[in-house]
């Protein structure tokens, strides 16, 4: 399949990838080009900024979560009817599992999808050393895919000299630069950038950023580079683990929490549920008085419940509604922030405790550092929820500053590098909840088991 595409990478986090990616997306739209966007890795927040620009949901490409042919299929499937795919890298370009492997890095995504890469270089305080930086990244792997460069925080006075020097020394085309900007920056907090809707005048800031990029980046050359990408070899997922011949098999209605407190979700997770037949009904545990009616299942994804713990406690009718559904047999999936909300109590960001739903006996509490974070593989230890499914390895991800007095013990989480492991996940006949985030394309047996339970619950309830 022909997919014009480009991957924007950098040498390290904090180099300006998200800022420049959003600016380029808006600039392309201003030129009448229709982009789609992706984020390498398991990040939730950066795709929200992409979506704020393009008006459509951004997706994730992750070579730990999914096999290589699935990653290519997700890329191609989400690019239909678009002119160009813009992929934002993760961390440093070669940063992968265990700190030394390139697996699951932005480079790995470029390799798997055969995508041309533009290296963003934060050249603040650099001159000729910028060429050494580019040369090192370009030659670190013979198939680096690095074909272009954008310089960040560079003055127009030294840009032309740096451009000529880098192109002569490195054989990579310098496509432009971004001067130092102060009024378009994106703020961060403990799990990454703040939410797009929390930034005042976000659309105006991104429009201003795009105008700067239109003046300083050769967008025509960027599009030309993307159009030169090889065709993507695409094969539709098949086999027992990807049971796509049962598309539409589970015609159930699901309640999915989505608001300021619960906003960390992979759009491809929701899309896969819909492919399997589910109808998604969104609701807000903060603002709505009760769960949607006539639903057969509930999903509580992650987010920032600690920032809205007071509001969540104040909405007792909603907490009672969720507790009644869970204790009444409705199938429930919850992860990270959603799992915290189900506790008897959860702390806010200052350590003050508030009442939760009460389905999980225990409390979710604030810690001072990331305790369990990064990729893991879950191994089911005979939990009731997946009984008879034999799911095999389940790829997942953890990233949280909070912990629980009751993490669950029905699964073992193992790090992909090293020997570290721990117990996690609560399972019962109708509940599977815990801190790990799941990516359903990594093991579709899990969402299929959930939907089968939802269908059985719906039939029982009439």
Active-site amino acid positions: 336
8 A C-beta contact, residue 70 and residue 235: no
| Nearest-angstrom CA–CA distance, 86 and 21 | 8
The contacts of residue 265 (CB under 8 Å, 6+ apart) are 44, 256, 258, 301, 302
Q: Where are the alpha helices (DSSP H) in 328-410?
A: 337-341
| Nearest-angstrom CA–CA distance, 169 and 138 | 11
How many beta carbons lie within 10 A of that of residue 300, not counting itself?
Answer: 29
| Nearest-angstrom CA–CA distance, 404 and 145 | 43
| Nearest-angstrom CA–CA distance, 300 and 257 | 6
Backbone angles phi, psi at 208, to 5 degrees: -65, -40
| Nearest-angstrom CA–CA distance, 20 and 369 | 29
| Nearest-angstrom CA–CA distance, 156 and 48 | 31
8 A C-beta contact, residue 87 and residue 5: yes
Helix%, strand%, coil% for the chain, nearest 5:
35, 25, 40
8 A C-beta contact, residue 136 and residue 94: no
8 A C-beta contact, residue 121 and residue 165: no
Backbone angles phi, psi at 174, to 5 degrees: -85, 120
Maximum separation of any 2 CA atoms in the chain, in Å: 73
| Nearest-angstrom CA–CA distance, 346 and 338 | 11
Residue 64, token pair as written in the block: 């730990």
The contacts of residue 253 (CB under 8 Å, 6+ apart) are 278, 279, 281, 292, 294, 295, 296, 297, 458
| Nearest-angstrom CA–CA distance, 233 and 250 | 30
DSSP code per residue over 147-160: EEEEEES--HHHHH
């Amino acid at each position: 399949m022909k997919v014009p595409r480009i991957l924007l990478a950098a040498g390290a986090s904090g180099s300006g990838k998200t800022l420049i990616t959003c600016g380029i997306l808006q600039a392309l739209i201003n030129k009448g080009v229709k982009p789609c966007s992706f984020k390498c890795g398991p990040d939730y927040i950066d795709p929200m900024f992409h979506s704020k620009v393009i008006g459509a949901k951004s997706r994730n490409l992750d070579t730990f979560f999914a096999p290589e042919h699935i990653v290519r299929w997700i890329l191609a499937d989400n690019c239909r009817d678009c002119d160009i795919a813009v992929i934002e890298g993760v961390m440093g370009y070669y940063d992968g599992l265990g700190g030394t492997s390139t697996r699951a890095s932005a480079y790995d995504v470029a390799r798997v999808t055969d995508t041309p890469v533009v290296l963003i270089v934060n050249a603040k305080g650099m001159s000729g050393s910028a060429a050494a930086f580019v040369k090192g990244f370009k030659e670190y792997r013979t198939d680096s895919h690095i074909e272009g460069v954008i310089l960040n925080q560079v003055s127009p006075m030294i840009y032309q000299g740096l451009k000529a020097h880098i192109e002569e020394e490195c054989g990579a085309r310098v496509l432009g630069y971004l001067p130092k900007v102060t009024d378009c920056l994106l703020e961060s907090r403990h799990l990454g950038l703040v939410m797009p809707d929390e930034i005042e005048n976000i659309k105006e800031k991104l429009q201003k950023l795009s105008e700067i990029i239109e003046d300083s980046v050769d967008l025509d050359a960027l599009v030309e580079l993307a159009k030169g990408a090889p065709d993507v070899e695409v094969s539709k997922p098949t086999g027992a683990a990807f049971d796509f011949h049962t598309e539409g098999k589970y015609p159930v209605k699901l309640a999915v929490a989505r608001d300021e407190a619960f906003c960390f979700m992979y759009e491809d997770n929701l899309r896969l549920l819909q492919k399997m037949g589910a109808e998604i009904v969104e609701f807000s545990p903060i603002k709505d008085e009760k769960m949607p009616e006539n639903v057969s299942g509930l999903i509580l994804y992650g987010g920032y419940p600690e920032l809205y713990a007071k509001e969540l406690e104040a909405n007792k009718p909603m907490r009672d509604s969720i507790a009644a559904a869970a204790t009444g047999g409705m199938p429930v999936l919850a992860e990270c922030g959603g799992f915290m909300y189900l506790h008897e109590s959860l702390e806010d960001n200052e350590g003050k405790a508030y009442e939760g739903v009460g389905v999980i006996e225990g409390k979710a509490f604030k810690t001072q550092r990331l305790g369990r974070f990064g990729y893991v593989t879950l191994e089911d230890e005979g939990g009731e929820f997946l009984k008879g499914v034999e799911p095999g390895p389940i790829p997942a991800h953890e990233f949280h500053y909070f912990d629980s007095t009751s993490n669950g013990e029905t699964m073992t989480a193992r790090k992909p590098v090293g020997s570290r492991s721990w117990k996690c996940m609560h399972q019962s006949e109708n509940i599977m909840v815990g801190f790990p985030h799941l990516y359903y394309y990594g093991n579709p047996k899990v969402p299929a088991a959930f939907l089968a339970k939802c269908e059985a619950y719906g039939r029982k309830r009439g």
